[in-house]
A and B are shown apart, each in its own frame.
Chain A
Amino acid sequence: MFFVLILFRRTISGDALHSLRRSLSDPDNVLQSWDPTLVNPCTWFHVTCNQDNQVTRVDLGNSRLSGHLVPELGELKQLQYLELYKNQISGNIPEELGKLTNLISLDLYSNNLTGSIPESLGNLKSLIFLRLNNNKLTGQIPRALTNIKSLKVMDLSSNDFCGTIPVSGPFEHFPMKSFEGNPRLDGPELLGSVAYDSGCN
């Protein structure tokens, strides 16, 4: 069949969210209101915008979604809260999320995410909440995260991280239970010693 593009007055954020919708499987039809023919996504449910009609929140926690995240999420330049927790989303965390410099909360916990935490997340200078627990993430905990001074709540528990736990910057205050359930994770990085990454291939 001939494929005819049905486009409307699109916006970058509408496109980005529509890419996300196409990449997700949505058995409960929670994305039913995500109408691509509307001018901007601000009237869609589970999307919140600011005064300038720019997307500041995406709230899709606990929605029985599966499929993958998409790099286009990095185009939501005013995004503050990305809530995709408690679903069955698989695949990697796109490194393009590192472009979301206004992001305050990144909640991807309780999914089936694999791969490692992209170093680019160290660019999220406004991040306060980072919860990636209960996934199948691997690799080392990127040291770049120690540069995020605003980070207050971090939970990386129940994954398959390896290497050592950073101890500088915001990591000084995180309790050990933020890291439990990672059998290949060695303890805190020993200060004054060369950091070693045993258990990582």
Chain B
Amino acid sequence: MQQRYIYLAYGCVIVSHVFAYVLGSVFISPCRKDFSVCNHTLCTLLSIKDSMQDPTGALATWNVSTHFCTWDGVLCSNTSQQQQVKGLLLDSRQLKGALSPEIGNLLTLSYLNISNNIFHGSIPRELGKLASSLTHLDLSHNAFNDSVPASLANCTLLTFLDLNTNFLSGSFPEFITNFTQLSYLDLSSNSITGNTPRDIGLLSASLQFFQLYNTQLTGSIPRSLMNCSKLVWLDVSNSLLSEALPSDWTRLSSTLEELNLDNSGFSGNVPETLGNCTMLTVLHLHNNSLTGEIPSSLGELRSLQDLKLYYNHLSGPVPSSLTNCTHLVYFELSGNNLTGGIPEEIGRLSLVEWLTFSMNPLLEGSIPHSIDGCTQLRQLSLYQTNLEGVLPSSLFNLSKLERLSLEDCAFSGRLPELVGNLSSLSIKLDVSHNNFEGPIPAGLGKLSNLQGLYLQGNNFEGHLPHQLSELRSIIEMDVSCSLISGTIPTSFSRLASLSKLYIRNTQIAGPIPDIFADLQNLQVLDLSRNMLVGSIPQSLATLYNLELILDLSSNRLTGSIPSSFGNMVRLQEMHLSGNMFTGRIPSAFGGCVGMQILDLSHNRLEGDVPDALGEMISLEHLDMSHNRLSGSLPSSIGDLPKLISLNVSYNMLEGVIPENGVYRTLSASAFVGNPRLSMDSPLSRSRSSDERIHWKTRIISVLLAAIVTLYCLRYYMKRKEASALDLPLWRRVFMRRKKVSGLLEEGEEDRCSNLEVELRPWRL
């Protein structure tokens, strides 16, 4: 009896399990609908969909109401029997989430492309189950992390593997070298570290495209890669690879078309055998540490369109054989130590658009006459070289030239009127810091698209041609440090887009013209160190939009400082020193809340130092020295939050030096030369009580007298010498200009010193 009950119990358990299973599968698997193919494929695809988010409804067709072979992105095979999923093409659909491990159940899947979505998490190791079918795997441009799963090693039928631009980590998966049919391999832009795959040469029968750029891989390019005789495209740029390049590229010579090894740390020479790779169209070796000479064998690369060797340490000459590469569009060798000159037959490169040899300080010779053979030239950069000579007139036939950079070289002769023929010049024309001479050509006025004109630091002479006012696109113009004379043309009022105007350190004279009403974009106006006379014109006094720098220092300007300057609320620097301004310092300066530097020194200003200067909350440097200011120093200045330096020396100030804020930090030199300025307060007593300071002052004044005597002697001796520069005599006496701050100069001061002319009326 008991046995029967046991059997019954077992029976019930079994039946209930079967019942539960049947019930369960009915509820768990809604796929058990009436399809001719009721297999796991449908459920697998729906699971895959479930693990994703689909904000744009790209998978809207993925529902049970239609056959999955009709779903968007699902590719089925054409076999007459069961429909099998051969491929999933789901790129660029803004899908998010994980790639479901169920993917491993699509055992007939040959093609999987989910590129350019927002998949994250690990690459499912279940992909390894697709070993017998998967040939094309593209997971690029997603957010997969973790390392490449080891199970993927099973997928030896892969011909295309792209994991580019994810967050994959770990080391390079060496098992890939067993994928003997792999034609396309891209693991770029990931966080993979360690060495490059040593045995990549095992893929020599198949590998055509190999990209491994933008990684943290170290070491060298594997030598076995040189066996991959089918290689068409190789990109290992932007890496931490640092050793020498492989030396023998001959086995790649019949197929290699693009070689990108730039922006890494490669050292050693440019391999000569690269000259055998005659299919090469792109050769990027720029921004590495390559040394040695450019092999002349590169001249055999007749298909080469893009040659970038810039920013290396290459030496030796530019091989003239490179002029045989007549398909070159980009020819960039700047930033090296090349010697010799530009090849004479450069004009054979009739398709070249970008030609840069700049920053090769030993490059010499002149621009070859054949340059006009480069009819497509858009950018010519030769700056910071030792190139010299007169510009060939053929240069000005380059009607497509947009940017001409010849600055900081040794070019000489004139800038011809022909320059006006460069009608496409738009970005800039820079001939600054050379040895050009003669007049500034009026032909420049024809360059109606030109935005930047830089002529400074040459020996240009004569007047500023009024045709310059026809430069209707000009944003920056610099004619400083030259011998130009005459006046500033009134027609400059038409330069409405002018933002920065530099006419400093020239022989320009006459008044400042009243032209500023329409120059509302002006940010920098530097007319310093000229012979300008007269007072500040009305349109300049009311140029309230002036934003950056106003420098009128070292001229012969007179009149008073307009109080309307107080409306230049955003002006950062104002330099009026070294003139003959009279009258008072306007208290309206208190409105200049943006001003960082104010230099009024070496004028004839009188009256009080206004209290309102204490409202100039941005002020860092204030120099009012060498004037005739009287009254006492306002304590408000001491409280200026950003003030670093203050100089009121050599005035007629009186009263007591305040002791608040900045005043406490200043030394005696800030106040010297004010006989009635009291030294009675404890602080000022400590400044003046040191007897050595008094002695120092006496010694300095004796030395000064000696120097003055010496200069006077030189003056009389120079009178007897002929002068090539034909300058007024006093101007040839070299004088040091006292700088208020370095902010304005930005190296220009040193640049212009090759003229050895400084303008500054000597004052004792």
Question: Residues of A contacting B617 with CB < 8 Å?
Answer: 128, 150, 152
Chain A residues contacting B429 (CB-CB under 8 Å) are none
A105 at the interface (CB under 8 A from B): yes
A residues 20-45 near B (Cβ < 8 Å) are 32-33, 45
Bound together, the chains give a CA A50 to CA B573 distance in angstroms of 13
Residue contact B618 to A33, C-beta cutoff 8 Å:
no
- Known contacts A7-B263, A8-B287, A45-B476; A33/B451 CB under 8 A: yes
A152 and chain B: residue at smallest CB distance: B593
A128 close to B743 (CB less than 8 A):
no
Are A4's CB and B428's CB within 8 A?
A: no
A51 to B748, CA, bound (A): 11
Shortest CB distance A76–B (Å): 17
B548 in contact (CB, < 8 A): yes
Secondary structure call for the A interface = loop
Q: Which of B233-241, B482-490, B689-697 is the contact stretch?
A: B233-241
Chain B residues packing against A (C-beta within 8 Å): 209, 211, 213-214, 233, 235, 237-238, 260, 262-263, 286-287, 311, 426-428, 451-452, 475-476, 499, 523, 547-548, 569-570, 593-594, 617-618, 742-743, 746-747
Structural contact, B593 and A51, CB atoms closer than 8 A: no
Q: How far is the CA of A45 from the CA of B260 in the complex (A)?
A: 31
Given contacts A7-B263, A33-B451, A57-B548, 6 further A-B contacts (CB under 8 A): A2-B235, A5-B213, A46-B475, A46-B499, A51-B746, A152-B617
Docked pose: A4 CA to B188 CA in angstroms: 10
Alpha-carbon separation in the docked complex, A196 to B237 (Å): 58
How far is it, in angstroms, between the C-alpha of A81 and the C-alpha of B92 when the chains are bound? 39
Show the binding face of A for B, using Cβ within 8 Å.
2, 4-5, 7-9, 32-33, 45-46, 48, 50-51, 57, 59, 81, 104-105, 128-129, 150, 152-153
Q: Assess whether B743 is in contact with A50, with CB atoms less than 8 Å apart.
A: yes
Partner among B214, B475, B570 whose Cβ is within 8 Å of the Cβ of A129: B570
Q: Are B213 and A128 in contact, with the CB atoms below 8 A?
A: no
| Chain B positions within 8 Å of A129 at CB level | 570, 594
A81 to B617 alpha-carbon distance, docked (Å):
16
Rounded to whole angstroms, the CA-CA distance of A57 and B594 in the bound complex is 13
Between A and B, 18 residue pairs with Cβ closer than 8 Å are: A4-B213, A4-B260, A5-B237, A7-B262, A7-B287, A8-B311, A32-B451, A33-B451, A45-B451, A45-B499, A46-B475, A50-B743, A51-B743, A51-B747, A59-B523, A105-B570, A129-B594, A153-B569
Cross-chain contact A104 with B238 (CB below 8 angstroms): no
A9–B747 CA distance with the chains assembled, in angstroms: 22
> Would B547 and A81 count as touching, CB distance under 8 A?
yes
B452 touches A105 (CB 8 A): no
Interface contact B618-A104, CB-CB below 8 Å:
yes
Q: How far is the CA of A7 from the CA of B570 in the complex (A)?
A: 37
In the complex, chain B residues whose CB is within 8 Å of the CB of A8 = 263, 286-287, 311
How far is it, in angstroms, between the C-alpha of A8 and the C-alpha of B359 when the chains are bound?
15
Question: Considering the chains assembled together, what is the distance between the CA atoms of A81 and B569 in angstroms?
Answer: 13
Our pick among B209, B475, B593 for the contact of A128 (Cβ within 8 Å) is B593
Q: How far is the CB of B404 from chain A (nearest CB, A)?
A: 14
Which chain A residue has the least Cβ–Cβ distance from B569? A153
Please, how many angstroms separate the alpha-carbon atoms of A51 and B750 in the complex? 13
Q: Quote the shortest CB–CB distance from B381 to chain A (angstroms).
A: 10
Instruction: State the Cβ distance, A171 to closest chain B Cβ, in Å.
Output: 17
Residues on B with beta carbons closer than 8 Å to the beta carbon of A128: 593-594, 617-618
CB <8 Å contact, A48 and B235: no
Q: Quick one: closest A residue to B451, CB to CB?
A: A45
Instruction: Give the residues in chain A near B594, CB-CB below 8 Å.
Output: 104-105, 128-129
CB within 8 Å for A5 and B569 given contacts A45-B476, A57-B548: no
Contact of A32 among B209, B238, B260, B426 (CB under 8 A): B426
| B729 vs chain A, min Cβ distance (A) | 35
Which single residue of chain A is at the shortest CB-CB distance from B520?
A: A62
A152 CB contacts on chain B under 8 angstroms: 593, 617
Q: Evaluate contact between B746 and A33: CB separation under 8 angstroms.
A: no
**Interchain CA distance A128-B593 in the complex, whole Å:** 8
Of chain B, the residue at the smallest CB distance from A32 is B427
